[in-house]
Every structure is written in C-alpha cells, then in structure tokens.
C-alpha cells in the first residue's frame, strides 16, 4: 500500500490540474462505477486483531446531488494468527446521502446491509460461515472531471448485528464494530 499511495497522489494531482483548467460542473445523476483500496483494522478476540489491506468494487445510481443507492463487493482478506485465520469477503447494499459543499467538493454518509462469507482455517480444519451485518461510513469526494471523482472514506462494518435484529430490539442491540476500513478510491459516473 505504501507504493500505491504516491501513485494515487500523482494521479489525483494530474487530474486536479486538468479539472482546474476545465470549468465544467460535475455530473450529479446517473449510474456510476468505482473502486476503493485501503487499510483494514480487524477488532475481535485477541487472536484475530489484525491490520490488513482491503479492496472494494462498487456501483450505484445517483438520483440527484443529494442521494444515491450503492452496492459493492468487499474483499477483507485473510486475518488472524498462525494457529487460526479467517478469510472474509462480502456484498453490501446501502443508501448514500451527499452534501455538496462546492461545484467539485462534497461530503457523504453511507448506511446499509452487509452480507458476508467467512472461512475459518485452523490446523487442518476449515469451516465456512455466511452471515450478515450493518455498515456505516463517512467520506469526502472531489470531482476531478465532470465524470471522475476521487474519494476518501472511513467505513465501519458490524459483523455481529443484522437489520432484523436491530429493528426487533433496538435498545438492547450490540453495535460493537468488528471491521474498520479507511480507503481512497475513484468513481466514474455515466
């Protein structure tokens, strides 16, 4: 990841120079595709605390300057210890609220559902588990061109709580966060 950050920074600066020379406004509705890459912090039992890289592919539809619906595939990678490790990936579907600050700069918040599969590997034993949880995130985005944006996001994934459980007993729901992802990404709106 240390080698990727300078490459992304140079790409962002080059695109920013182009964007400043081109005064077109960003596109605020339509389908979009993108990807994120970043740092993942896994908080669980002591054996499973870990720092990893994670990546995400996303797509969605932005209805206007303020609202979008977004789905994604997230690869959380493998984390754990030499004795036991877990490999997790999943899919998300959520709502994205957007607050434009200027023609090019905006902040956003996300909230939605995570469906994930984890494979536990310990010694010669392997077990698959499918489950669901909630996620929430905050981010900032800058339009490099009318269609291309760079964003910085921080997302919390709670792999212990699903939507049904949260609505059934909101007061007693356990909102402990298991996966925390900080990432940089690009998206292209059509």
Q: Round the average pLDDT of the chain to a whole number and report it.
A: 80
Mean pLDDT in residue range 119-127: 80
More confident site: 44 or 123 = 123
Residue 173 has pLDDT above 70, yes or no: no
Which residues have C-beta within 8 Å of that of residue 8, sequence separation ≥ 6? Answer: 150, 184
More confident site: 20 or 129 = 129
Q: Please provide residue 10's backbone torsions phi and psi, each rounded to the nearest 5 degrees.
A: -65, -40
pLDDT of residue 2: 55
pLDDT of residue 165: 46
Indicate the pTM of the whole model: 0.74
**Third-level CATH fold of 4-22+31-189:** Porin (2.40.160)
pLDDT of residue 21: 47
Gap between the Cα atoms of 12 and 164, Å rounded: 40
Domain boundaries, the chain: 4-22+31-189
Would you say 149 and 173 are in contact if contact means Cβ atoms under 8 Å apart?
A: no
pLDDT of residue 86: 78
Residue 32 has pLDDT above 70, yes or no: yes
Residue 179 has pLDDT above 50, yes or no: yes
Residue 14 has pLDDT above 60, yes or no: no
More confident site: 136 or 27 = 136
Q: Kindly indicate the confidence band of residue 190, based on its pLDDT and cuts at 50, 70 and 90.
A: very high
Q: Could you tell me how far CA 46 lies from the centroid of its own chain? A: 24
pLDDT of residue 108: 98
């Amino acid at each position: 990841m240390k080698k990727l950050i300078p490459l992304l920074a140079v790409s962002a600066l080059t695109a920013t120079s182009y964007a400043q020379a081109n005064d077109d406004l960003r596109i605020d509705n339509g389908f979009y595709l993108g990807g994120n890459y970043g740092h993942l912090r896994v908080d669980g039992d002591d054996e499973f605390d870990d720092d990893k890289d994670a990546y995400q592919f996303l797509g969605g539809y932005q209805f206007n300057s303020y609202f979008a619906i977004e789905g994604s595939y997230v690869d959380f990678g493998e984390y754990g210890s030499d004795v036991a490790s877990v490999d997790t990936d999943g899919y998300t579907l959520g709502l994205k609220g957007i607050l434009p600050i200027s023609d090019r700069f905006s902040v956003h918040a996300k909230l939605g559902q995570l469906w994930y599969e984890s494979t536990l590997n310990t010694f010669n034993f392997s077990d698959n588990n499918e489950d669901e949880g909630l996620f929430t995130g905050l981010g900032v985005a800058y339009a490099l061109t009318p269609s291309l944006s760079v964003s910085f996001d921080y997302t919390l994934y709670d792999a212990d709580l699903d939507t049904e459980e949260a609505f059934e007993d909101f007061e007693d729901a356990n909102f402990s966060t298991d996966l925390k992802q900080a990432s940089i990404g690009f998206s292209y709106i059509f």
